[in-house]
C-alpha cells in the first residue's frame, strides 16, 4: 500500500525550521498501515528535511553550524551567474538533503525520545514550501 499526501508550510527565511512530525503521524494514521516507512520530501532546491530535537537551541545551533560551512555572505558562483543572494541556501540544502525516511510499527513512528521531523528553510527570504509525505506499508 502506498499513501501520498501533499502539504504546504510558510517559512520566514534562512534559519527557520518547522516541526512536521504530527503531520507525518497523521498521514500514517490516514493510510491505515500499521508498519512500513514514511518519507518526507520537500520540493525546491533551497530547503531540507532532517530529524533533530526540535528545540530552539538545537535549531539555532544547527543553523550556526551550517553558516560556518556555507556562510550567507560567502562568495558563490551562483551569485555571479544568476545575480542572486542565495548561493549559501543551495549549498546548505545540498548538504542536508530534501528527504528523510522514518520506519513505523504498530502505527507509530520509530523516532527516538527527543527526535522530531523538521523542514529546514535555507532560502534568504520567506517561502511557501510544498512537502510530500509518502507512506509505504501494510
Q: What is the pLDDT of residues 20-70, one digit of tens each?
A: 999 999 999 999 999 999 999 999 999 999 999 999 999 999 999 999 999
**End-to-end Cα, the chain, rounded Å:** 6
Beta bridge partners of 113: none
Half-sphere exposure of 42 (CA within 13 A, CB side): 30
What per-residue confidence (pLDDT) applies to 120?
Answer: 98
Residue range 22-35+56-137 forms a domain whose CATH class is mainly beta
Q: Of the candidates 86, 82, 60, 83, which has an alpha carbon nearest to the alpha carbon of residue 74?
A: 86
Beta bridge partners of 84: none
**Set of cell numbers at residue 48:** 531540507
What per-residue confidence (pLDDT) applies to 105?
Answer: 98
* pLDDT tier, 73 (very low <50, low <70, confident <90, very high otherwise): very high
For 10, 31, 34, 38, 82, the CA distances from 122, given in Å and listed in that order, are 13, 31, 34, 23, 17
What per-residue confidence (pLDDT) applies to 3?
Answer: 98
Weakest mean pLDDT among 9-18, 45-54, 83-92, 123-132: 83-92
* Percent of the chain predicted with pLDDT > 90: 92
Amino acid at each position: 500500500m502506498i499513501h501520498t499526501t501533499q502539504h504546504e508550510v510558510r517559512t520566514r527565511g534562512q534559519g527557520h525550521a518547522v516541526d512536521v512530525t504530527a503531520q507525518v503521524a497523521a498521514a500514517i494514521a490516514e493510510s491505515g498501515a500499521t508498519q512500513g516507512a514514511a518519507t518526507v520530501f520537500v520540493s525546491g532546491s533551497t530547503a531540507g528535511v532532517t530529524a533533530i530535537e526540535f528545540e530552539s537551541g538545537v535549531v539555532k545551533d544547527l543553523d550556526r553550524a551550517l553558516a560556518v560551512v556555507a556562510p550567507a555572505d560567502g562568495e558563490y558562483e551562483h551569485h555571479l551567474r544568476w545575480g542572486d543572494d542565495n548561493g549559501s541556501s543551495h549549498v546548505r540544502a545540498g548538504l542536508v538533503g530534501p528527504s528523510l525516511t522514518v520506519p513505523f510499527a504498530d502505527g507509530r513512528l520509530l523516532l527516538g525520545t527527543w527526535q522530531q521531523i523538521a523542514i529546514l528553510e535555507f532560502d534568504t527570504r520567506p517561502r511557501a514550501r510544498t512537502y510530500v509525505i509518502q507512506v509505504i506499508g501494510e
